[in-house]
Amino acid sequence: MDYKRFSVQIFLRVIVILITTITAGYLYFKTSFYFTATFSIALSLLQAYWLIQFAAKTNRQLTVFLDSIRHAEFNRSFEPTGLGEAFDGLSSSFNQVMSDFHNIRKEKEEQFYFYQNVVQHIGISMMAYERNGRIIMLNNAANKLFQTKKLSNINELTSFNVELVEILKSIKHNQRKLIKVHIKDDLLQLSLFAKQFKQENKEITIISIQNIETELEQNEMEAWQKLIRVLTHEIMNSITPITSLSTTVNLMVDDWQLSNAKGEDTNEVTADIKQAIQTIHKRSEGLLQFVQTYRSLTKIPMPNFALLKVEEFFSDMAQLHKKDMESANIELIIEIEPSNLEITADITMMEQVFINLIRNAKQAVAKTENPQIKLKAGYGNYGNIMLQVIDNGQGILPEVLEKIFIPFFTTKASGSGIGLSLSRQLIRAQGGNITATSKPGKTVFTVRF
């Protein structure tokens, strides 16, 4: 509506200018009213000037409006000009847009200060820097960690730790790094995690740095306590009968010497001594085998990585256990999504791990009606590749589940307790991890890469 009024005003002004100009020409050439003709010409020029000013007012306001946006001057206002409703409406629209921009900037600034305060007050050290090393953000926790108040470039951290600087320069997106840092008499175990993105053609890296020394020491202590309990249990099982038998043998030797001195028959005592010594020898061999098995857990070879097609790998596993599955009437299901899934792993290690997992699954479903084992592979919730062995057995008790990866822990009468522990070490050697979940009717072992 305002645009129509503006157009009408322009049209009427042009008509008035034309009429005035024609009138002036007529008076100048057809009559002798030269003064009136001259006045009419001057009036036409004045009306043309007013028309130009009328039209240019819009351009000037638009220029001021755009300059205000370019320089982020959102506090400027546009007052009504008195040139009509068209211009007054335009000024009102400009004011509304400026108000919207002002509110948006205010909201963004409030968000910026909020996130800035969050970053500055969290307990984890955080820093952001460009590819050339220029630091653009360093929170209070990082300043405290590095024992500095201001850093402008990551190269300045050389005095703190040279290896840390090299990691900051080479770390990739979504990569984690662990580093030990010695500061005078203190030892720090630092965990680094990186995120990278581009902003205005600049590559920005955000690093979170956390001292996990306490957590590592706690986990290490708990692991040692669990291992010592298992070792103590196994060793005591062998040492106790050996100690008891050695005492018995010592008494038997006294009896043999006494009987021999009296000239009595010592064959029975000799047989008892021999049997006791054989028992001691057997238990000693068992203890020696236990120690050798423990040593084997500490000597994991370096993995020989190769491209492994999961479909072929599962098919080989199914073929390897086909006869046992058929004889036990166990249904074996293979489920892979996508079908062309591939991983980089040590094939021999993977075979050893999955043979152990499938064997455990077969034992778990031995007393289950309609036993079923599923080999499943695909992508997890976070995009990582996972391979699973799922069975519909009775499940694992919660108090047992948390111990199944401890060396030598077993609930089987004939079990060694090293299968799952060795499997975890083999998977970790390849850069993955293995976890287990269980409930009645479903147990899942998951290998993630």
Q: Is residue 297 within 8 Å of 407, Cβ to Cβ?
A: yes
Whole-Å CA distances, 296 to 76, 93, 293, 360, 375: 78, 80, 5, 21, 28
Q: % helix / strand / coil in the chain, to the nearest 5? A: 55, 20, 25
Q: What does the block give as tokens for 267?
A: 């064959």
Cα–Cα dist 203/171, whole Å:
13
Cis-peptide into 241, omega within 30 deg:
no
Cα–Cα dist 408/422, whole Å:
10
Q: Is residue 411 within 8 Å of 305, Cβ to Cβ?
A: no
Cα–Cα dist 266/263, whole Å:
9
Closest to 47 (Cα-Cα) out of 12, 80, 86: 12
Cα–Cα dist 164/41, whole Å:
84
pTM over 0.85: no
Cα-Cα-Cα-Cα dihedral sign, residues 155, 156, 159, 160: negative
Cα–Cα dist 402/222, whole Å:
12
pLDDT score recorded for residue 48? 79
Q: What is the DSSP letter of 82?
A: S
Strand 135-138 to 125-130 pairing = antiparallel
CATH number of 306-448: 3.30.565.10
pLDDT score recorded for residue 119? 79
pLDDT along the chain (449 residues), means of 10: 60 78 75 73 78 68 68 62 56 71 79 80 88 90 84 89 90 88 72 88 89 69 66 66 73 75 72 75 70 63 88 89 87 92 90 90 90 92 87 88 75 66 86 89 91
- Tell me which of 2.60.40.3080, 2.60.40.420, 3.30.450.20, 3.40.1160.10 is the CATH number of domain 122-211: 3.30.450.20
Q: Is residue 28 within 8 Å of 22, Cβ to Cβ?
A: no
Q: Is residue 260 within 8 Å of 266, Cβ to Cβ?
A: yes
